[in-house]
Amino acid sequence: MTRTDKAPRFQFPAGSRVGIVAGGGALPVEVANCLSEQGLNPFVLIVAGESSPDSGLDRFDHDVLTLEELGSLVATLKRHRVTHVVLAGEIRRRPRLAAMRISLGLLAIVPTVVAALAKGDDGLLRVVIRGLETRGFTVVGAHQLVPDLVAGEGPLTRKAPAASDKANLDAAYAAAKAIGGLDIGQGAVAIGGRVIALEGIEGTNGMLERVKDLRQHGRLAGKAGGVLVKCAKPRQEMRADMPTIGPQTVELAHAAGLSGVGIEAGRSLVMDGPDMVSLADRLGLFVVGLEARDDHG
Amino acid sequence: MTRTDKAPRFQFPAGSRVGIVAGGGALPVEVANCLSEQGLNPFVLIVAGESSPDSGLDRFDHDVLTLEELGSLVATLKRHRVTHVVLAGEIRRRPRLAAMRISLGLLAIVPTVVAALAKGDDGLLRVVIRGLETRGFTVVGAHQLVPDLVAGEGPLTRKAPAASDKANLDAAYAAAKAIGGLDIGQGAVAIGGRVIALEGIEGTNGMLERVKDLRQHGRLAGKAGGVLVKCAKPRQEMRADMPTIGPQTVELAHAAGLSGVGIEAGRSLVMDGPDMVSLADRLGLFVVGLEARDDHG
């Protein structure tokens, strides 16, 4: 959160109303707080079943939408006079098509959404963003609203990677980029210079739990250490689904016996930064921003 | 097991003695039986902790070696007058370096083995094979001894992939090749046209268990079907660690709710073929040999 140039904070024109489509995790809360502190009064559209009930998002002007009610997204945003939309937080579930409420708005977008679902996450997010823009909304990235959350280059923690961590960081970074190129996941774990786990739909936390189990079952040959690397996909849509870490990532990395975490600088978000750093310092882990790789559009 | 040209069965010169370095699974047993049926009397070096006690390998002339006794491999093989070596079966554990019995033979190979371990599985196997060849052994692939186990192209089961399985087979095949190129794993699972799980050190069975859990926890959006694809790494050493499936693969794929399994023809082994096919037929799964991709050295 230091050395890399941050994008300047997005400036909203007078009369703007920001709508936050809020998935799980801390990001929507950080975005809402930040907008509120700027005197903007955000409208939060909570995606049912993703956000935790104690997220505090209900302090803001809000509404709740199930994934299956996706068809009324535009109408709901318009009703609240939203001009700018932020997609923030994880959406882990996929809509059950059978349970979707049929509406004209939905029928219009079904073919593109189905095509997008077939292309994976990124494809879907691109279609949603394009759809919102076609309907007159400006879609803004969370990183443009709270640029302080964007990871900078270099260690965030007291501890920096040791020389022995370098091979792990390199191997995991290369693997995470490769599976990102296939639009599968954003993370990989390397131990002993070798990638041993790749993130699929189970997510980063699920992958770390797996590494913990593998270690407990003696499947890692008693090898100490290892790293998690998370990075943006080569064609990452930066206005949605940026790679994110937080205190829980550090906690699970520690439980999995890893020595640290690497994230791609400028293209990853750090949630609850101070808490995460003090936890990592206490547990003796490093968290490091790695130089960004590959061209991004 | 039909349409692809098989390599002809390897012909041993008179006076040959075949040593089988036996890891887990059915392959070492199949190889030993096959050699025995040809009137050759194989010597089986059972890797402790990998082979199941009821494997039946102790019916053959045999010895047991722990991974940590790797240094005496050559001496043991020489003592039993072995001329040809087959590496067969999975070795899931990695040697605990701290527990290795120090010997002159071991000290000589430590630097290369350490370098190889750092390169991953394939690197290690290449070094072991080269080391054995330098010491005068001929290293033979299991697929050259029991060519009937090599998967052919096309469906092995009554059921063939449906048109709707094609996108899954394509996506999983591409992903499995990509991670194979990074020497990480050999398998991937795609559901709804999207890759949702990649094989790391947990192995194919571990990955399938994970998919089962994800489905039970509603993380697959109620999507039916999906496929597992296993294929050779782009630079696969064919004399070790060929991708392998068997009845357990089909059983776990079924438990994970998949509709079938694809394997790379000519570069994958099918264990207990008749049992596997009848199980798949009973459960309504397809198993299909997919046209081989990429050049192999």
- All structural domains of chain B, each given as residue ranges with its CATH number in brackets, are 18-145 (3.40.50.20), 150-290 (3.40.140.80)
Higher per-residue confidence, A146 vs A3: A146
- State percent of chain A over pLDDT 70: 83
Res B99: pLDDT: 53
- State percent of chain A over pLDDT 90: 49
pLDDT at A107 over 90: no
Burial B229-257 (b: 16+ CB within 10 A, else e): bbbbbbebbbbbbbbbbbbbbbbbbbebb
ipTM associated with this complex: 0.70
Res B87: pLDDT: 87
Find the mean pLDDT for residues A13-33.
Answer: 89
pLDDT at A34 over 50: yes
Is the alpha carbon torsion for A250, A256, A260, A266 positive or negative? negative
Helix, strand, coil percentages (3-state) for chain A, rounded to 5, are 40, 20, 40
The segment with the largest mean pLDDT, out of A122-131, A204-213, A238-247, B113-122, is: A204-213
Which of A96, A214, A222 shows the shortest C-beta gap to B96?
A: A222
Res B119: pLDDT: 46
Burial B12-26 (b: 16+ CB within 10 A, else e): beeebbbbbbbbbbb
Mean pLDDT for chain A overall: 84
- Mutation site for A-interface testing, chosen from B67, B184, B219 by largest number of A Cβ within 10 Å: B184
Res A54: pLDDT: 78
pLDDT at A252 over 80: yes
Which residue from B minimizes the CA distance to A211? Answer: B202
Res A93: pLDDT: 62
Which residues of chain B make contact with A180, given a CB cutoff of 8 A? none
Does the distance separating the beta carbons of B184 and A202 come in below 8 Å?
A: no
Size of interface A-B (CB pairs under 8 A): 114
- Decide if B163 touches A, using CB distance below 8 A: no
Res B33: pLDDT: 92
- Mutation site for A-interface testing, chosen from B170, B179, B214, B220 by largest number of A Cβ within 10 Å: B179
In the block, tokens 């939408």 appear at A65
Tens place of pLDDT for every residue, chain B, 297 residues?
444 455 678 888 888 999 998 888 888 999 999 999 988 899 999 988 777 777 889 899 999 988 767 677 888 999 999 999 998 887 666 555 555 554 545 445 444 554 444 445 555 667 778 888 888 999 999 888 888 899 999 999 999 999 999 999 999 999 999 999 888 889 999 999 889 999 998 889 999 999 999 998 877 766 789 999 999 988 888 887 789 999 999 999 999 999 999 999 999 999 989 999 999 999 999 999 999 987 543
Which residues of chain A make contact with B175, given a CB cutoff of 8 A? 179, 182, 184
Distance between first and last Cα of chain B: 23
Res B81: pLDDT: 94
Res B163: pLDDT: 93
Res B168: pLDDT: 96
Q: Which of residues 166-185 of A touch B (CB under 8 A)?
A: 167, 174-175, 178-179, 181-185
CA B185/CA B243 separation, integer angstroms: 10
Which of B182, B202, B206 shows the shortest C-beta gap to A195?
A: B182
Which residue from B minimizes the CA distance to A201? Answer: B196
- Decide if B49 touches A, using CB distance below 8 A: no
* A118 three-state secondary structure: helix
Q: What is the pLDDT of residues A44-94, one digit of tens each?
A: 999 887 777 778 898 999 998 887 676 778 889 999 999 999 988 877 665
Of B296, B275, B297, which is closest to residue B287 (Cα–Cα)?
B275
* A62 three-state secondary structure: strand
Which residues of chain A make contact with B196, given a CB cutoff of 8 A? 184, 200-201
Which residue from B minimizes the CA distance to A197? Answer: B200
- Decide if A67 touches B, using CB distance below 8 A: no
- Decide if A197 touches B, using CB distance below 8 A: yes
CA B198/CA B179 separation, integer angstroms: 8
- DSSP collapsed to 3 states, chain B: CCCCCCCCCCCCCCCCCEEEEECECCHHHHHHHHHHHCCCCCEEEEECCCCCHHHCHHHCEEEEECHHHHHHHHHHHHHCCCCEEEEECECCCCCCHHHCCCCHHHHHHHHHHHHHHHCCHHHHHHHHHHHHHHCCCEEECHHHHCHHHECCCEECCCCCCCHHHHHHHHHHHHHHHHHHHCCCCCEEEEECCEEEEECCCCHHHHHHHHHHHHHHCCCCCCCCCCEEEECCCCCCCCCCCCCEECHHHHHHHHHCCCCEEEEECCCCEECCHHHHHHHHHHHCCEEEEECCCCCCC
Which residue from A minimizes the CA distance to B91? Answer: A219
Does the distance separating the beta carbons of A201 and B197 come in below 8 Å?
A: yes
